[in-house]
């Protein structure tokens, strides 16, 4: 039986300062932040004071610090992120967003867990960068993103026969597919949002992460809510969601969508 829908609480704010979200009240943080060194995100970072790669990483690290604060012991942080290819100062190189995020989260006290390689199907499977058919000046196609996984402290504990946990079971087939390290069955979503700056990952990915790492009745937080993919998935699966969005027009669209879906909590502010 499908669980009753959860609610969605929204507030416009900064992922580095989750005012109003109490310590240890969130069970899963599932998000896809702006990717450092991807041109479409430059303005977002610049408006928040980050104009180079170290500054962009520092901005995200502030968000992971707040995620650690609000998560319950044993809670999970799931970060969908990709590396970047970019030419700067005449040099073309890879910017290892996933690796630096792993290091930053571990430094903040998270326990890194095995991550997922999300191999995104593309309309150009033979995309190629470099010098045609002669070595050595060609580059491997960047066609994977990462679902990085972290736990706050030790394993989360439940009472025997916890109803929320029992209602959240997955099948053997789901377990075998979901808990393999490479996902090839999920196609990326189209870019959406104001000037194409909203991260695009499919509803199926959000649903999978929510089901893998939370139980019915839990609270799921997305501190980079964007168009709300994680929020709608969490609520549909019987979790309560909190969404934080910094950009004003994006937040207004998000709030209207939550009202249209009948998910917006009576009190639009998060619990204090």
Residue 184: C-alpha distances to residues 117, 181, 207 (Å):
9, 10, 16
Per-residue pLDDT, 135: 86
Q: What is the mean pLDDT of residues 15-31?
A: 96
Q: How many Cβ atoms sit within 10 Å of the Cβ of residue 137?
A: 9
Per-residue pLDDT, 200: 65
| Domains of the chain as residue ranges with CATH | 8-260 (3.40.50.150)
Nearest Cα residue to 182 out of 119, 122, 125, 121: 119
Contact 164, 216 (CB under 8 A): yes
Tens digit of each residue's pLDDT (9 = 90 or more) over 186-213: 987 765 544 444 556 799 999 999 999 9
**φ, ψ for residue 153, nearest 5 deg:** 80, -150
**φ, ψ for residue 234, nearest 5 deg:** -65, -45
Tens digit of each residue's pLDDT (9 = 90 or more) over 93-139: 999 999 999 999 999 999 999 999 999 865 455 565 666 678 888 88
Q: Please tell me the number of Cα atoms within 13 Å of 98 on its side-chain side.
A: 21
Q: What is the dihedral of CA 261, 229, 10, 27, to 10 degrees?
A: 120
The Cα–Cα gap between 190 and 199 comes to 9
The per-residue pLDDT of the chain, averaged, comes to 91
Tens digit of each residue's pLDDT (9 = 90 or more) over 144-174: 999 999 999 999 999 999 999 999 999 999 9
Q: What is the mean pLDDT of residues 66-95?
A: 96
Q: Is the pLDDT of residue 30 over 60?
A: yes
The Cα–Cα gap between 210 and 218 comes to 10
Overall pTM > 0.85: yes
């Amino acid at each position: 039986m499908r669980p009753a829908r959860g609610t969605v609480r929204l507030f416009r704010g900064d992922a580095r300062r989750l005012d109003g979200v109490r310590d240890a009240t969130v069970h899963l943080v599932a998000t896809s932040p702006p990717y450092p060194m991807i041109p479409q995100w430059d303005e977002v970072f610049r408006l928040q004071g980050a104009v180079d790669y170290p500054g962009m990483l520092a901005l995200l690290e502030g968000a992971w610090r707040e995620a650690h604060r609000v998560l319950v012991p044993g809670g999970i942080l799931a970060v969908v992120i990709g590396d970047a290819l970019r030419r700067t100062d005449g040099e073309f190189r890879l910017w290892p967003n996933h690796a630096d995020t792993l290091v930053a989260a571990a430094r903040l006290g998270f326990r890194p867990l095995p991550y997922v390689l999300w191999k995104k199907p593309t309309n150009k499977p033979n995309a190629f960068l470099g010098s045609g058919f002669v070595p050595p000046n060609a580059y491997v196609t960047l066609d994977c993103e990462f679902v990085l996984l972290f736990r706050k402290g030790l394993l989360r504990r439940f009472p025997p026969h916890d109803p929320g946990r029992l209602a959240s079971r997955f099948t053997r087939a789901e377990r075998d597919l979901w808990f393999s390290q490479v996902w090839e069955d999920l196609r990326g979503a189209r870019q959406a949002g104001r000037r194409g700056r909203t991260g695009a990952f499919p509803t199926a990915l959000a649903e999978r992460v929510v089901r893998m790492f939370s139980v019915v009745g839990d609270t799921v937080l997305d501190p980079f809510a964007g168009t709300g993919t994680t929020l709608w998935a969490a609520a549909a699966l019987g979790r309560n969601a909190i969404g934080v969005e910094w950009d004003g027009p994006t937040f207004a669209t998000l709030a209207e969508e939550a009202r249209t879906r009948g998910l917006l909590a009576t009190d639009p502010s998060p619990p204090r």
